[in-house]
Amino acid sequence: MLKTTVKALACALSLTAGLAFADPITIKFAHVVADNTPKGQGALLFKKLAEERLPGKVKVEVYPNSSLYGDGKEMEALLLGDVHMLAPSLAKFEHYNKGIQIYDLPFLFDDIEAVDRFQASPQGQKLLSSMEDKGITGLAYWHNGMKQLSSNKAMHEPKDARGLKFRVQASNVLDEQFKAIRANPRKMSFSEVYQGLQTGVVNGTENTWSNYYSQKVHEVQPYFTHSEHGVIDYMVITNTKFWKGLPDDVRGELKTIMDEVTVEVNRQADDLNREARDAIAKAGTSEIIELTPEQRAKWREAMQPVWKKFEGEIGKELIEAAQASNQQ
Ligand code: LMR
């Protein structure tokens, strides 16, 4: 009898202890860039706010620089539940939703403000939930910024890029963009870019100033062309099953935090890119080529035929909605 009571008491105690000291939910957030970039800063701010506001309930582990999963592996890991949050560049979703390819169309958006307006539009917001049937939930868009070109050769006009090898993200649109200027695109993971440029596997690439500077690309690229020919932004995503399985209060608070972090990331992204550009100029390793309006028009004219090739996959209406975001 006594033995049974002690046993029951021990059991009750351990249950209470279990409830009081339940393990926090661990959220692994992996990404491929450095901490000193818009995405890197966003992931760290998300961790800080989540752990401050949900003490003991949530722990966020941030893995930058492809340290947990890099391109090519991270989506699979998210679907398997091995990582819970990612923020891939919008160029990396073509296997999951063709509509998201819209963000890769060259010279579609005049500037990051136009991108912002499109993302906030009903069409832009719809893309966030467009992959739920595949197990991916989009939580937010984060800006990085407009893309610039880089190379081991000075590029003022599209003809200067002819025959050069360019690293591209895993995107068919970007592949076609470089083919349109008679260059040779090569899909490559972000973590391989520096070495690829250093060893001459590729001659050039395209990216934002913050990604160039934080990866030290200026050490291996003597020329940048300030082209603003496209955008690199992100979709913060989570595993749908994981997200829906969170306790309601935790999920609600995390969404509120995500919205706050998004405002902050998008407010700071421009400054981070400007600072990175200044730092590259100051390093004195590379020339930053400014284009005249006529030269820029030539790049646009050479690259824009790509739109037609992808109109069927992306949808004419979506392209028109994106164009409309330029005119406000
Ligand atoms: C790239 O692969 O070039 C970038 O999109 C990496 C990133 O996440 O900014």
Q: Taking a C-beta distance cutoff of 8 angstroms, is the pair 215, 194 a contact?
A: yes
How large is the C-alpha radius of gyration of the chain?
23
Least confident of 16-25, 71-80, 133-142, 202-211: 16-25
Please give the pLDDT value at position 21.
61
The domain that contains 191 carries what CATH number? 3.40.190.170
CB-based contact 29:46 (threshold 8 Å): yes
Domain boundaries, position 302: 2-324
- Write the residue with the smallest CA distance to atom 3 of ligand 1: 190
Q: What percent of the chain has pLDDT over 90?
A: 92
Q: Ligand 1: residues whose CB is within 6 Å?
A: 32-33, 89, 144, 169, 190, 207, 211, 232
Residue-by-residue DSSP string for 267-324: HHHHHHHHHHHHHHHHHTSSEEEEPPHHHHHHHHHHHTTHHHHHHHHH-HHHHHHHHH
Q: How many domains does the chain have?
A: 1
Q: What is the DSSP string of 120-142?
A: HSHHHHHHHTTTGGGTEEEEEEE
Q: Which of 156, 108, 132 is nearest to 306 (CA)?
A: 108
Q: Are 42 and 233 in contact (CB under 8 A)?
A: no
Instruction: Convert the pLDDT of each residue in 14-56 to its tens digit.
Output: 444 444 567 999 999 999 999 999 999 999 999 999 999 999 9
Task: Give the tokens for residue 27.
Answer: 């959220």
Query: Comparing C-alpha atoms, which of 53, 132, 46, 50 is closest to residue 87?
Result: 46
Backbone angles phi, psi at 274, to 5 degrees: -65, -45
Pocket test for ligand 1, best of 142, 168, 211 (most atoms within 8 A of CB): 211
Is pLDDT above 50 for 307? yes
Say if residue 242's pLDDT is above 70: yes
Give pLDDT, residue 6. 47
Tens digit of pLDDT for each residue in 130-182?
Answer: 999 999 999 999 999 999 999 999 999 999 999 999 999 999 999 999 999 99
Mean pLDDT (whole number) for 66-89: 96
Predicted TM-score (pTM) of the model is: 0.92
Q: Ligand 1 atom closest to Cα of 190?
A: 2
